[in-house]
Structure 1
Amino acid sequence: MNHALRRAMANAKMTETQLAEACGVDPKTIGRWITDPSRIPHARHRWAACEALGEEEAAVWPTAVRSALKTGPDREVIQVFPYRSAAPASLWRSLITKAQHELTFAGYTNYFLWLEQANLAGALRRKAQTGCRIRFLIGDPDSPVTRAREDEENVPLTLSTRIAVTISELARLREVGNIEGRFETGHVNLSVFRFDDEMIVTPILARRVGHDSPMMHLRRSQADGMFDRFADHVEELWTRGRDIWEETHHGPA
């Protein structure tokens, strides 16, 4: 929730419809600005809104201001969270929804996505049918790397069990074109999720599961920047990966 925008509207005694008229947008767009804090309006709309509300842009959309002021490599860093679980589920849904060309889920299990994103399978199916390439790079459940990480995490819901959930969900989408899956283990300590030119990166800390690890939201703005470095890392692992359906002992019955 963009609480700053909602407070500014309340202070100005302005409804969504009234603000929409001032900005030249649909009232539903104002609703999305309020409910999805990751959604940053175009500059002209931000300026119109702030003028109508009598607020400074830095107070209503600080992320946009910080991004505009950054000139170094860190300008690709949109926001950070000390824990992945602290990021709103709406951020993930927004990134998935906006992506048109590429979705890459290079989390070791990707288990949490199926739990936290309502009808993720349906969303992926629709994306794939419109030509979006969708890839899942998941850990090999039988690898010694996986077993070593399981020993370190020492939690009842093991990595191999969480991986099995993702394999089961992907099996239901196997007939859909543009959806691929491969096994690899090189990302056991670093999860990377790509949504066209935006990305979420989660370095996995010692003895911590994914939701307890820090998270960065990146947006590509330069060649060979942080975004490209992480993207190259995923591409290298993808070339080494093995197709999950060629592993007959893991394939659906």
Structure 2
Amino acid sequence: MANERLRDALLRNGLDLDKVAKATNVDPKTVERWITQGRTPYPRHRHTIASMVRETENYLWPDAVAPERKTEIGTSEVVKLYPHRHSVPAETFDRLLNGATRHIEILIYAGMFLADNPRFIRTLQAKAAESVKVRILLGDPAARALALRGDEEGIGREAIPAKARNSLAFFRPLADTPGAEVRVHGTTLYNSIYRYDDDMLVNTHVYGFVAGHAPLLHLRRLSGGDLFETYSESFDSVWGLAKIPKW
């Protein structure tokens, strides 16, 4: 069976058989078999190709890495664990935002603490102008899940929808920014996600606690890891269900 993920990744990055063959020091026919016959390259070759196309080995070859090895790599993907989101230095959020060159993805209901950075929206607009792919997922104020979250956090059914409306107003300037997309969702928010290229801040949500008091994981994507990729796929799933807001 052909490896369509590998084929697509190479095409997206403008890589032909000869370029891959040269980088991996193999015959172009070997590269062709990796694509058309689904052959699995040696680990050193997988790592080289994954780096070239900026994808993980698990994405390109889902069955190539043994489960126990994935577990080991997943542990290494955890850069730091914070007991509370509010204990993360503001400098960390700012540094990751300013350093992003390819992807900025945010999944939240409101995330109004982001407004503490007065340059946040302008930075997103500048990044989009530099061809960074900016995707923002905000909570739909009319969605039942937001009212339920307010009940669960003990702050009232109207609190989260009200915050979401404020968040929509805060992100409104991105509506007219080429390269930036904003959508609203009404899914259960198990985690808030802040992705900047290969770094991701995952704010877990705990029943009875507001988000700022819940733990946060700082992850860094590794080629053979599963942890970062799991949250990334979750973001894509919500994105597929979300809709363009009625500003």
TM range (shorter): 0.5 to 0.7
Residue 109 (1) aligns with residue 105 (2) = no
Corresponding residue pairs, total: 176
State the 4+ residue runs in structure 1 displaced beyond 6 angstroms.
none
Matches of 2:170 and 2:146, distance apart in 1: 20
Structure with larger RCO (C-alpha < 8 A, sep 6+): 2
Query: Is residue 106–residue 187 contact of structure 1 (8 Å, CA) maintained in 2?
Result: no
Ranges in structure 2 where 5+ consecutive residues have no aligned partner: 1-70
Residue 98 of structure 1 and its aligned partner are, at CA, apart by: 0.6
Aligned pairs for 1:207-226 within 5 A = 207-226=208-227
Residue 83 (1) aligns with residue 63 (2) = no
TM-score by length of 1: 0.66
**Residue matched to 1:145:** 145
String of CA shifts for 1:15-50, please: whole Å, max 9, x gaps. Answer: xxxxxxxxxxxxxxxxxxxxxxxxxxxxxxxxxxxx
String of CA shifts for 1:142-162, please: whole Å, max 9, x gaps. Answer: 111111111222327811121
2:206 is paired with a residue of what secondary structure?
coil
Matches of 1:137 and 1:223, distance apart in 2: 27
Aligned pairs for 1:27-176 within 5 A = 72-114=73-115, 116-155=116-155, 158-176=159-177
Residue 233 (1) aligns with residue 234 (2) = yes
Letter in 2 for 1:135: R
Residue 224 of structure 1 and its aligned partner are, at CA, apart by: 5.0
Query: Is residue 104–residue 133 contact of structure 2 (8 Å, CA) maintained in 1?
Result: yes
**Residue matched to 2:14:** none
Identity %: 23
Matches of 1:223 and 1:187, distance apart in 2: 29
Residue 163 of structure 1 and its aligned partner are, at CA, apart by: 1.0
Query: Is residue 77–residue 225 contact of structure 2 (8 Å, CA) maintained in 1?
Result: no
Residue 229 of structure 1 and its aligned partner are, at CA, apart by: 0.6
Matches of 1:223 and 1:142, distance apart in 2: 40
Letter in 2 for 1:162: K
Matches of 1:144 and 1:80, distance apart in 2: 31
String of CA shifts for 1:151-203, please: whole Å, max 9, x gaps. Answer: 22232781112111221122223211111111123342311111011100011
2:208 is paired with a residue of what secondary structure?
coil
Residue 196 (1) aligns with residue 205 (2) = no
TM-score by length of 2: 0.67
Query: Is residue 76–residue 226 contact of structure 1 (8 Å, CA) maintained in 2?
Result: yes
**Residue matched to 1:180:** 181
Matches of 2:72 and 2:96, distance apart in 1: 24
Ranges in structure 1 where 5+ consecutive residues have no aligned partner: 1-69
Query: Is residue 105–residue 194 contact of structure 1 (8 Å, CA) maintained in 2?
Result: yes
Query: Is residue 107–residue 187 contact of structure 1 (8 Å, CA) maintained in 2?
Result: no
**Residue matched to 1:8:** none
Matches of 1:103 and 1:196, distance apart in 2: 6
Of 119-128 and 94-103, deviating more is 119-128
